[in-house]
Amino acid sequence: MSINLLNFKGVAFDLDDTLIDRKKAFDKLCMRLVNDFECFSNFSEQEALDFFWGLNSYNSFDINFGLTEIKKRFPNFDLNYQEFYDYYYKNMSEVIEPYDGVKEFLDKLIEKKLNFGIVTNGSHYQYEKINNTGLQDKYNFVIASEIFGHSKPKKEIYIETIRQLNLTLEDVENVLFIGDNPYTDIIGAQSIGMLTAWISMGREYPKNLDPPNYIIENYKELEI
């Protein structure tokens, strides 16, 4: 299925796994962990990938859960929550790359004056990811949840999205939210009545949830 973005009054994109490749970055992060911490040095590459991916359900890494599980198996892993948080996000922002063609795609959206922005869960590290992937200046606005004060799927962040798109809640049915996480991106956008496009990355949409309006494999099915 392809979607013409010019059919909408406003469009909002998730960042991780929508425009930039967090999956590939997480693989690289696993290798950095093996190199940087003695306690993981006996892992083969495959063992490291299996162990760390096992802590990364639905490609969404929870620092607290991850750290607890690591310490259960490796009591010598001595980072505290804040140190591990900083290690994780600093390294992820260094290794992450945009999907092929995303820069040109965003340039085209700007050239065609599409009303759009990026809405992402996370902290100031999200801006570092944007800068390190060369996507700075390729959007009209970014909302990072920990700076704004509410995360997806809370209604507040979608209402702020409408405001930053210079629209009102009356326009909500003409706004498209595009993201890969059913439980944050899609549920939240549906809760205020936005249209939704889910990036499947080859997965099935969870059967217990209201389906999105569109299912696409990746951003390349978005036309302008």
Question: Binding residues for Mg ion, per CB under 5 A?
Answer: 14, 16-17, 180
In the chain, alpha helices (H): 22-36, 45-53, 63-73, 81-95, 102-111, 125-132, 145-148, 155-164, 187-191
What is the spatial distance between Cα 80 and Cα 99, in angstroms, rounded to a whole number?
32
What is the spatial distance between Cα 182 and Cα 193, in angstroms, rounded to a whole number?
15
Q: Residue 87: name the closest of 16, 146, 36 by CA.
A: 36
Interacting residues of 57 by C-beta distance below 8 A, sequence separation 6+: none
CB of 19 to Mg ion, least distance (A): 9
CB of 41 to Mg ion, least distance (A): 31
φ/ψ bin of 80: left (φ > 0), alpha (ψ from -120 to 50), beta (otherwise): beta
Complex with Mg ion: residue 29 or 34, whichever CB lies closer: 29
Complex with Mg ion: residue 48 or 92, whichever CB lies closer: 92
* C-alpha distance from residue 219 to each of 43, 139, 222, 224 (Å): 35, 15, 6, 12
Complex with Mg ion: residue 79 or 218, whichever CB lies closer: 218
Complex with Mg ion: residue 164 or 181, whichever CB lies closer: 181
CB of 32 to Mg ion, least distance (A): 21
Complex with Mg ion: residue 195 or 199, whichever CB lies closer: 199
CB of 136 to Mg ion, least distance (A): 19
Interacting residues of 224 by C-beta distance below 8 A, sequence separation 6+: 4, 5, 6, 108, 109, 112, 114
Q: Residue 192: name the closest of 162, 148, 151, 217 by CA.
A: 162
CB of 16 to Mg ion, least distance (A): 4
Complex with Mg ion: residue 14 or 21, whichever CB lies closer: 14
- Residue 58: count of CB within 10 angstroms of its CB: 12
CB of 139 to Mg ion, least distance (A): 15
